[in-house]
Structure 1
Amino acid sequence: MSPGRTALIFEGKPVTYGELHERICRLAAALRGAGIRRGDRVAYLGTNHPAFVETMFATYALGAIFVPLNFRLTGPEIAYQLEHSGAVALIHDRPVPESVPLAVSLDAYESFLGGASPGFTGEPSALDDVACILYTSGTTGHPKGAMLTHGNLIWNAYNLLVCVDVASDEVTLVSAPLFHVAALNQCLLPTFLKGGTSVIMPGWDVDRCFDLIASHRITWMFGVSAMFAGLAQSPRWAGADLSSVRCLMTGGAPVPEALIRAYEERGLTFCQGYGMTETAPGATFLEARESHDHIGSAGLPVFFTDVRCVRPDLSEASPGEPGEVLVRGPNVTPGYWNDPGATAGAFVDGGWLRSGDVAVVEESGHFRIVDRTKDMYISGGENVYPAEVEAAIFEQPGVAEAAVVGVPDEKWGEVGRAFVVPVPGAGLEPGDVLAGLRGRLAAYKIPVYLEVVEELPRTGSNKVLKGPLRERPLPGRA
């Protein structure tokens, strides 16, 4: 429809939709010539790059299955996912295991495309055909490969376009890793559908983000809480030209209200959503027009998807009562690749996907994500949700990030242990941070231990890894 429009900008170089189409056809023809057929798995390993986009669409054109890999994983972790998925081809920008029959490095990528015909005709795919396998973060044990069908991707895009006024003149900053479902399906694909422009960042960098917003007049971007906190804490924040930005979107973890208000003070609309890899990912969304009145909310169920909040016996939780989030709809995964046991365990009560996340639903129907069920701990018989404690710590002066976990305690069963990252140059005293929580949080919610650290361990999608934090030896009580 719009071959002359700019589809991608990467390191200052624009690529039109027409040029991108030709390159995708060449890559599909080259892969076909190398023996790749319908149903085969084609993997990509590398930082954000136009080759990621080309590999994905070429794989779909072949009726094959795309497997984007987390480039931050170790060699053995990558080898496991390649073997588990049965990948027969890999496009990559770094050394990889030699077990893949066809491996094409980005150094050899252009020559691989060069001899192929641009006249490739794609194979048809049905809505129920598997389009991609996205491996979960793997915070415990081996990660699972969530299958997403072409229908899952399409219905998720429809849901997003109902919730967000994505325009044909959109200039979207793709700053989160494209192997992450939100950057891929909540930003890149909807922008493609509208014929907008995606500005691709190879990796996250606060200063580079400010530069790209100003130089390309960015209108829309997605980020996780840590990314937006980094922008707000930068010396450039107060004077940065952000006048082109129409919408900021976040997900992945509850965002502290103090951070949302910092963006509101700059006149920026901060839209929070909730979802997971298995829901492609959108499940709930807070529309821009509601962002101020329901600050911190993850919004309402997206249009073509049903979302419930239930008690352990699967009965409906009352308004304000914490319960597990269940999701059902055409955007929900059919299951996990080569793992029927995990697939069977993920669904209950007639096809509802168990999220493992805790939420409360307000009288208005808005969802507020409280925490992961596995992150909640019980102190003296009371449930403590770390996200609430983290948000209170974040509001203390000099705090850049906070993570709270439950640790064993002889008297209370479990107590809180906080890890706090200071703003550069700030001298944080644990006692002062804890004192700032008194009167704001019930006593049982205030951490017993608090440590100032340089950084927090993270998954490849920038979520905080709490397992390693729980395993650290306990210091003396604060």
Structure 2
Amino acid sequence: MKQENLFAALRAAFPADLDAAAVETDAGLVYSWRDLDRATAMIANLLQSLQLPPASRIAVQVEKSVEAMMLYLGTLRAGHVFLPLNTAYQSAEIEYFIGNAEPAVVVCTSRNFGWVSKLAFKAGTHHVFTLDDDRTGSLLERAAHCGDRHEIAPAGADDLACIVYTSGTTGRSKGAMLTHGNMLSNAQVLKDYWGWQQGDVLIHALPIFHVHGLFVAIHGALLNGSRMIWFGKFDPKRVIERLPDATVFMGVPTLYTRMLAEARLNKVVCRNMRLFISGSAPLLPETFNAWKERTGHTILERYGMSETIMLTSNPYDAAQGERRAGTVGFPLPGVGVRVRDEAGQDVPAGEIGGIQVTGPNVFKGYWRMPEKTKEEFTHDGWFRTGDVGRIDRDGYVTIVGRSKDLIISGGYNVYPAEVEGYINELPGVAESALVGVPHPDFGEVGVAVVIPRPGMRLDGEEILAKLKSQLANFKIPKRCFVVDELPRNTMGKVQKNLLREQHKQLFA
């Protein structure tokens, strides 16, 4: 079998000088490439000493740290399957994940050890370790007794590397099975497409239980032999302070809006930056424009999913086109993207339909859910993303929303992103969300939830009155609420399921 272990490819890209800095943390610690090599070997040897079955799941719910990244890399190195869990998950959720994935090893923070270990042992997991963000915990204590040389476990392109549980906005979370080949092919494509070059330095300020921070950012830097400036938590002031020392930054829209609120953000601090990337949630055109004006840089927006890693991207190279606000660019090399109607026919350019994708980055299926997996793929093997969007005549892809967010009001389709776009352009509006709730006459109607800009007062009725002159009547929300903030998940995505739940009795 050809060696396609993702870790082997990342390790092969380490620079010749293993004593050079690989990661520099916000606490002032510096890790060399040799440190990464030795620590991942020790963790892999620890896992090997437990005599686990091949491709055992290693479930991890810990705070962000360089050691947590080493645990991820050590798991790949040992040929096991990494299972990252959001740090916000509580006991009922953790119980579900442990029961569903049946991990051989669970790693948690010391403060959660009491209740996590109970759930794990009850479910039949034999090994529970602790790992904290201050380089302490039983995992490191045990690994310290293991050798620092390790032969990388063989893995084929189709072998499982990770299971990422989707955020579960529609019923129970599903475990997306990603292979070594899925992740390596995507990392290699992005290395070329985003123009990674010698001397690049990445600011890593994202969580690492998610595709964006764990795969896109870390694989990108490691595959390029690039140093990372590592933030345990995002702090806009401290990130801006480090921009002159870096060339690449990856963030979610919330991080960009928080940096724009800082007076120190300007063209001078961004003078050495090569690329700002945004994803995981839609970037408002207004943030895109404000960033360009303040920094002289055009944010590159891209689109991906837990099941597929990255799918599309605005061009890095200006010769391939401009970066357009509100779009997620073109399909990446080797990735197929098509837009189809309910009958499974391609829709004309510029028209809205369901987005389907294919490519070497598309996952193997949902963990222990063969029926669900079958349902989500078309007869010719394309994955139905559940996203709704369009491809314009120039080939740019625009995401209009999730198919589950579509509102069917009196038989008409209402796309929330379209209505939100009009609301967001009204004076005094910072951001909005439109959700569908049950209605006795129309089946479903839209309810708008709006955040005002700082110091502005908004009136819901006035917003609806203004929309009436701009949009067809069936698209006008039936109610509009003005609130201080929208519920968001850790990646900054608005949790529309919570808004729907909150307002579902409105017209009952």
Asked if TM exceeds 0.5, the reply is yes
Structure 1, 41-50 or 200-209: larger mean CA deviation: 200-209
Alpha carbons 1:220, 1:246 under 8 Å: kept: yes
Selected match of 2:126 from 74, 78, 101:
101
1:130 counterpart = 2:155 = no
- Counterpart position of 1:4: 19
- CA distance 1:138–1:71, change in 2 (3 Å): same
- The 2-side partners of 1:463 and 1:291 are apart by 28
- The 1-side partners of 2:322 and 2:464 are apart by 29
- CA distance 1:425–1:90, change in 2 (3 Å): farther
> Could you state the TM-score of these two structures normalised by the residue count of structure 1?
0.92
Local SS of the residue matching 2:88: coil
Selected match of 2:314 from 273, 286, 291:
286
> Could you state the TM-score of these two structures normalised by the residue count of structure 2?
0.87
Identity %: 33
- Consecutive unaligned residues of structure 2, counting only runs of 5 or more, are 1-13
Residue 229 of structure 1 aligns to which amino acid in structure 2?
T
Q: How far off its partner does 1:227 sit?
A: 2.5
Alpha carbons 1:38, 1:62 under 8 Å: kept: no
Alpha carbons 1:148, 1:278 under 8 Å: kept: yes
- Counterpart position of 2:4: none
Alpha carbons 1:219, 1:244 under 8 Å: kept: yes
Alpha carbons 2:281, 2:491 under 8 Å: kept: no
- CA distance 1:62–1:293, change in 2 (3 Å): closer
- CA distance 1:388–1:227, change in 2 (3 Å): farther
Taking the TM superposition and a 5 Å limit, the aligned residue runs for 1:290-329 are: 292=322, 294-329=324-359
Structure 1, 193-202 or 126-135: larger mean CA deviation: 193-202
Selected match of 2:381 from 343, 351, 365:
351
Selected match of 2:96 from 64, 67, 80:
80
Residue 64 of structure 2 aligns to which amino acid in structure 1?
N
Alpha carbons 2:281, 2:492 under 8 Å: kept: no
Selected match of 1:61 from 54, 65, 77:
77
Selected match of 2:254 from 218, 226, 230:
226
Please provide the CA RMSD for this pair.
Answer: 2.3
- The 1-side partners of 2:414 and 2:40 are apart by 50
- Counterpart position of 1:361: 391
- Counterpart position of 1:469: 499
Q: How far off its partner does 1:367 sit?
A: 1.1
Alpha carbons 1:254, 1:387 under 8 Å: kept: no
The runs of 4+ residues in structure 1 deviating greater than 6 Å are 474-477
Taking the TM superposition and a 5 Å limit, the aligned residue runs for 1:148-167 are: 148-167=178-197
- CA distance 1:476–1:369, change in 2 (3 Å): closer
Residue 235 of structure 2 aligns to which amino acid in structure 1?
D
Alpha carbons 1:430, 1:452 under 8 Å: kept: yes
1:273 counterpart = 2:271 = no
Local SS of the residue matching 1:472: helix
Selected match of 2:41 from 25, 30, 34:
25
Selected match of 2:290 from 250, 262, 265:
262
- CA distance 1:429–1:301, change in 2 (3 Å): same
- Counterpart position of 2:3: none
Taking the TM superposition and a 5 Å limit, the aligned residue runs for 1:121-270 are: 121-214=151-244, 217-237=245-265, 241-266=269-294, 267-270=296-299
- The 1-side partners of 2:257 and 2:21 are apart by 30
Deviations 1:92-119 (A, max 9, x none): 2240421142222123243222211101
- CA distance 1:58–1:475, change in 2 (3 Å): closer
- The 2-side partners of 1:195 and 1:240 are apart by 27
Deviations 1:29-77 (A, max 9, x none): 1222233353111122122211221111111111110111111111110
- The 2-side partners of 1:265 and 1:67 are apart by 40
Alpha carbons 1:155, 1:304 under 8 Å: kept: no
Structure 1, 85-94 or 302-311: larger mean CA deviation: 85-94
Q: How far off its partner does 1:200 sit?
A: 2.4
Alpha carbons 1:422, 1:428 under 8 Å: kept: yes
- CA distance 1:235–1:376, change in 2 (3 Å): farther
- CA distance 1:234–1:394, change in 2 (3 Å): farther
- Counterpart position of 1:45: 61
Local SS of the residue matching 2:405: coil
Number of positions where the alignment pairs a residue of Structure 1 with one of Structure 2: 474
- The 2-side partners of 1:59 and 1:468 are apart by 35
Structure 1, 205-214 or 261-270: larger mean CA deviation: 205-214
- The 2-side partners of 1:92 and 1:101 are apart by 14
Q: How far off its partner does 1:232 sit?
A: 2.4
Deviations 1:103-162 (A, max 9, x none): 221232432222111012221111110000000001122100000000000111122123
Q: How far off its partner does 1:198 sit?
A: 2.0
Residue 44 of structure 1 aligns to which amino acid in structure 2?
V
Deviations 1:141-200 (A, max 9, x none): 210000000000011112212320112322212222111112222211011100112222
Alpha carbons 1:254, 1:370 under 8 Å: kept: no
Residue 159 of structure 2 aligns to which amino acid in structure 1?
D
